[in-house]
Amino acid sequence: MTKADIINDIAEKTGIEKVAVQASVEAFMKSVRNSMVSGENVYLRGFGSFIVKKRAEKTGRNISKNTTIIIPAHYIPAFKPAKTFAEKVKKNVKKEATV
């Protein structure tokens, strides 16, 4: 599902114009992005959490040059689904996979 699909789906279900829905979706994504860039996590009860994870420094290998490089510690965005959300996905995907 793409962002356009999400916008169309919300517009159909709510009766709100696509332009207004697009503005709302864009504002939501911008808000989440800005919060995470500033180091804040975003918690959506019943859906999941957008969290900032710290990756430790590690040693990597450049196979073509046969050298080692040090990859510095850095932060990455991550999503952790809510427990109920993850359980629903597990149940529904298993049903479809066996059919």
Same domain, 34 and 47: no
The pLDDT of residue 98 is above 80? no
The pLDDT of residue 5 is above 90? yes
Same domain, 52 and 98: yes
pLDDT value of residue 91: 87
Same domain, 35 and 59: no
The residue segments making up the domain with residue 75 are 41-99
Q: What is the value of pTM for the model shown?
A: 0.76
Q: How far apart are CA 39 and CA 36, in angstroms?
A: 5
- Tally of domains within the chain: 2
Same domain, 56 and 24: no
Same domain, 22 and 47: no
Output the DSSP codes for 16-82: --HHHHHHHHHHHHHHHHHHHHTT--EEETTTEEEEEEEEPPEEEEETTTTEEEEE--EEEEEEEE-
Same domain, 95 and 59: yes
- Tell me the CATH number at 77: 4.10.520.10
